[in-house]
Amino acid sequence: MNKEFDIIENYFSFSKATREVPITVGDDCAIFTPPFRHTHIATSADLLIEGQHFFSDVNPKNLGHKALAVNLSDLAAMGAEPIGCLLSLALPSIDHSWIARFTEGFRNLSEKYMCPLIGGDLSKSKMGIIINVTVFGGLNVNFRRSATSAFMTRAGARAGDDIWVSGNLGKAHLAYTTKRDNPNDLAKYAMIFEALELPEPRIDLGKSLIRRATSCIDISDGLVQDLGHIMKSSKKTAEIHLEKIPYDKNLEKQFSKEQIREAILSGGDCYELCFTAPPENRAIIERLSDSLQLKLTIIGEVSWDFNIDRERRERIKRRQELRNKFEKNNYYVDNTPFTPIPHVQSKPRPPVEVYENGELIEVPNGGFQHF
């Protein structure tokens, strides 16, 4: 049973045809009809490479879960409801036990979020395991507002908005650094590995934030880096407060203050949602937190345009040129020539500023990098 089609038939044909997906795994193409309640399709793809995005000795069942979870997290960030997914695998060899366990993890999450596997590919790899997943989701959007503002994207944050995060941050990064730097410390890794290997996509939260949040992103590369993407797209600046960022206080028993700070600010592989919302929606979001039984925390606020200093420098430059022109042509006022104004160098604000007890601090590590 080493032929491609036999393996597909035995391990990857678990999603049955439905009215919405009449043609699924086993044909040249899958065919699906978006449910009537959806007006738009959202899609996303992620590539996971052995040694780059996951450790070689990872539990295959957990890897199957994560391969789908990181893609579902992208749908969550857009407020989309899962419709189906594609899975492509490149394997160095055929290990039926590995494939069976990988498929189990993938299938369990697929069924939990009603995201059937509808197609994909299987091939041989000469450079380790390579996994590619593509997901499709549905959105129901009306256009009483403009087309761009009708969707929950990275570009909608407004000055004065609250900045929220879901869950606790930092644990996945600490699991990753523990595994990387102390691979024999199995006891410490066992306490926190689930955050790294079994992330939970916030699908229900994402769907509930439609028309309540102004922007949203999933935290895959670190809080500061990913929130920075929102601020750059929205042309705003974020001010966040370190002491407000939620994390599991039990981590303090195993890790230093500096390690935790780096993890919650710059640590990736988190897959919680970071979103912005107007202050008048606080009560709604707090009730949403209760109904989903999911911690939602305000960690800061959105400030003015992060390019304002750059614009100020341009205005000063234009004034300088005008005054130099007057001086060159011997224009005088009250018999006194204009004095050239030196060019003012003003450092622009970064997209995200982090404060600790009111004091601006530097962000450690400068952002998450995969293995």
In whole angstroms, give the CA distance from residue 296 to residue 286: 7
- 74 carries a ligand binding annotation: yes
DSSP state letter for 184: T
- 120 carries a ligand binding annotation: yes
Q: How far is C-alpha 285 from the chain's CA centre?
A: 20
- 204 carries a ligand binding annotation: no
For residue 137, the surrounding DSSP H or E stretch is strand 130-139
303 and 239 in contact (C-beta within 8 Å)?
A: yes
- 233 carries a ligand binding annotation: no
Distances (CA, A) of 155 to 176, 229, 296, 308, 340: 31, 9, 21, 17, 40
- 256 carries a ligand binding annotation: no
Distances (CA, A) of 211 to 48, 279, 280, 367: 32, 14, 13, 30
Q: How far is C-alpha 184 from the chain's CA centre?
A: 30
- 220 carries a ligand binding annotation: yes
CB atoms within 10 A of CB 191: 18
Q: In which region does residue 95 sit, left (phi positive, over 0), alpha (psi from -120 to 50) or beta (all else)?
A: beta
In whole angstroms, give the CA distance from residue 109 to residue 199: 11
Q: Give the up-direction half-sphere exposure of residue 273: CA atoms within 13 A in the CB hemisphere.
A: 33
Distance in Å from the first CA to the final CA of the chain: 34
DSSP state letter for 75: H
263 and 192 in contact (C-beta within 8 Å)?
A: no
Dihedral sign from CA coordinates of 115, 120, 124, 127: negative
- 181 carries a ligand binding annotation: no
In whole angstroms, give the CA distance from residue 249 to residue 255: 10
- 368 carries a ligand binding annotation: yes
- 180 carries a ligand binding annotation: no
- 53 carries a ligand binding annotation: yes
- 162 carries a ligand binding annotation: no
Residues annotated within a binding site for Mg(2+): 28, 44, 46, 74, 121, 218, 221
Residues annotated within a binding site: 28, 44, 46, 53, 74, 120-121, 154, 218, 220-221, 269, 368
Residues annotated within a binding site for ATP: 120-121, 154, 220
Residues annotated within a binding site for substrate: 53, 269, 368
